[in-house]
Amino acid sequence: MKKVILVTGASSGIGKATALQLIEEGHTVYGLARRVENMQDLIAAGGKAMSMDVTVHNQVKAVISEILKKEQRIDVLVNNAGFAVYGAIEDVSYDDAKRQFEVNMFGLAEVTKAVLPTMRSQQSGKIINISSVGGKIYSPLGAWYHATKHALEGWSDCLRIEVKQFGIDVVIVEPGAIKTEFGEVMAENFARSEHSVYAPLAHNMMNAVKSTYETKGQSSPPTVIADVISKAVKSPKPKTRYSAGKMAAQTLFFRKWFSDRFFDKTIMNMISKRA
């Protein structure tokens, strides 16, 4: 059945791959991001693109109501827009930490709140939140990013049991390492700790991130996550969580079954091996 689907962060990476796949599958897809110029391929493929910054709440409301005027319904929201702030806790300013939460958590919450009344009145809908394996695990110098994704995991679980009564499904997707602009943005972040006592760790992390995202075979293409999202869209009873992509299964396995101390050692070893 043809669905009306909104994908945030559709100007790049996972969001773009997802929007293109869902257009190909015959849905009415709105790509939403700040860089509309980077969504021309969605329009060429038969989709729609609108400028939306998830942190500008009035804009979020206006965009959703414009879509509703045209479509009269919203079946699926893919909350994908996000980025990573990296750097030692001592080196990241509160302004940067707050910006991280504004995009990855409060922006996502605002888009969700803007579509919920419609989904409630339809008595149907799916909200697919792109978390990360980083919503379950942790890495050094990633405190603020992991804080947003761990928060998103708990927030999504609460939302799921609140809105089930209205026929709305909430799905969490936990990607592993996926080759997108994300790795480049993340690697630039370590400059924050370049001249601090954390410089050696920042140097190792930067090299590990570069090796993960730049070495062939160390990260998966974004279509791997687009496939999972498409599966959740199609399923009459989607799983509460999906994980996919390079390193996702291994890291989640270690986190689930081994102690904190063991995981600490494992993650630090992985970083120094790749540095």
Q: Determine which residue in the list 28, 132, 243, 251 makes contact with ligand NDP, applying CB under 6 A.
A: 132
What is the size of the binding site for ligand NDP (CB under 6 A)? 30
**What number of other Cβ atoms are within 10 A of residue 241's Cβ?**
17
CB 235 within 8 A of CB 229: no
Asked if 9 interacts with ligand NDP (CB under 6 A), we say yes
Please state the closest distance from residue 195 (CB atom) to ligand NDP, in A: 26
Tell me the residue type at 148: T
86-105 residues near ligand NDP, rule: CB under 6 A: 103
Asked if 142 interacts with ligand NDP (CB under 6 A), we say no
Which pair of tokens denotes residue 126? 């799916």
Asked if 127 interacts with ligand NDP (CB under 6 A), we say no
CB 192 within 8 A of CB 86: yes
Per-residue contact string for residues 187-226; x = within reach of ligand NDP by CB under 6 A:
----------------------------------------
CB 78 within 8 A of CB 4: no
Per-residue contact string for residues 46-75; x = within reach of ligand NDP by CB under 6 A:
-------xxx--------------------
Calculate Rg over the CA atoms of the chain.
18
Q: Determine which residue in the list 11, 118, 243, 251 makes contact with ligand NDP, applying CB under 6 A.
A: 11
Question: Catalytic one among 30, 86, 138, 145?
Answer: 145
Please state the closest distance from residue 269 (CB atom) to ligand NDP, in A: 20
Which pair of tokens denotes residue 190? 């370590």
CA end-to-end span of the chain: 48
Active site residue 30: no
Residue with token string 């909200």? 127
E-strand ranges in 160-267 read: 168-175, 241-244
Which pair of tokens denotes residue 52? 């939306």
Which pair of tokens denotes residue 74? 């919203």
Distance in angstroms (rounded) separating the CA atoms of residues 190 and 185? 10
Q: Determine which residue in the list 4, 5, 13, 19 makes contact with ligand NDP, applying CB under 6 A.
A: 13
**What number of other Cβ atoms are within 10 A of residue 162's Cβ?**
12
Q: Determine which residue in the list 30, 91, 175, 206 makes contact with ligand NDP, applying CB under 6 A.
A: 175
**What number of other Cβ atoms are within 10 A of residue 147's Cβ?**
20
Q: Determine which residue in the list 4, 5, 6, 15 makes contact with ligand NDP, applying CB under 6 A.
A: 15
Q: Which residues bind ligand NDP (CB under 6 A)?
A: 8-9, 11-15, 33-35, 38, 53-55, 80-83, 103, 107, 130, 132, 134, 175, 177-178, 180-182, 185
User: Which residues belong to the active site?
Assistant: 145
